[in-house]
Amino acid sequence: MSGLTTLNHRIILISVIGLLVIFIAIFKVSTMITNPIANITNYAKRIASGDFAAKLKEIKSNDEVGVLSHTFIKLKDSISTSMERLVEEKEIFRLVFSQMSDGIVITGPSWKVLQHNDAAAKFFSLPIKISLLDYLDSNFESSIPLVALMNPENQKSLFKLSRKEASKKLPNNFECNVAPIIGENRQVKAFVFNMRRV
């Protein structure tokens, strides 16, 4: 009987050791999979928050996790390059926009001024607290009814403005055009108002 008890103890010991080895192997394998995925997840969250300086150690395996790692690095580099180009283009646009001799005003669909260049600010004493149409109606005579500018069917409206009360400091007469910016849903997204001194 003592031989049988010793055998049972050995079987139990071998089983416990076997289970322990299996548990350690499963833990190692799961850690090898979950740690890189956790790193990729944290990396993606940093990129999503705008941190393009974030670094991810590329996983050199050919499995799905390695491919995912490589793809995220390429995606970040592509987005980063696009953002850099966008910033450069925005700066060029800002410089051109601010140095134009024609006045340019961009308004929303309700004619609230969203953006204007320096020339428009000088011509019309911008910024203003009312809509551009109300400002023009109060301060200028127009060669067309200004309400016609609100019709998006008018792809481009050409007209003249003359200041109601002549000014010695500000220009008094302008040639103007207005072009609506139409969105995909055929709704007016903005108006671009261009004015030139005459």
Domains of the chain, earliest start first: 2-92 (1.10.8.500), 102-197 (3.30.450.20)
Q: How far is CA 198 from CA 38, 51, 102, 123, 172, in A?
A: 65, 49, 11, 12, 8
What pLDDT, on a 0 to 100 scale, did the predictor assign at position 146? 86
Q: Which residue has the higher pLDDT, 112 or 54?
A: 112
Cα–Cα dist 129/174, whole Å: 22
Pick from 118, 113, 80, 114: which is nearest to 97 by CA? 118
- Residues across the chain: 198
Cα atoms in the Cβ-side hemisphere of radius 13 Å centred on 161: 25
> Does position 103 have pLDDT exceeding 90, yes or no?
yes
Q: For the sheet containing 188-197, what is the strand order?
A: 113-116, 103-107, 188-197, 173-182, 157-163, 140-142
Q: How far is CA 58 from CA 67, 73, 92, 115, in A?
A: 9, 8, 35, 44
Instruction: Please give the DSSP secondary-structure letter assigned to residue 110.
Output: T
pLDDT tens-digit series, residues 14-52: 988 999 999 998 888 888 778 888 888 888 898 888 888
Locate 49 and state its tokens. Answer: 């928050």
Cα–Cα dist 65/88, whole Å: 35
What pLDDT, on a 0 to 100 scale, did the predictor assign at position 189? 92
Question: What percent of the chain has a predicted confidence (pLDDT) above 70?
Answer: 96
Tell me if residue 192 falls in helix, strand or coil. strand
What pLDDT, on a 0 to 100 scale, did the predictor assign at position 88? 94
Cα atoms in the Cβ-side hemisphere of radius 13 Å centred on 122: 14
Locate 121 and state its tokens. Answer: 């600010």
Cα–Cα dist 95/139, whole Å: 29
The neighbouring-strand residues paired with 131 are none
Q: In which residue are the tokens 């911008």 written?
A: 126
The neighbouring-strand residues paired with 25 are none
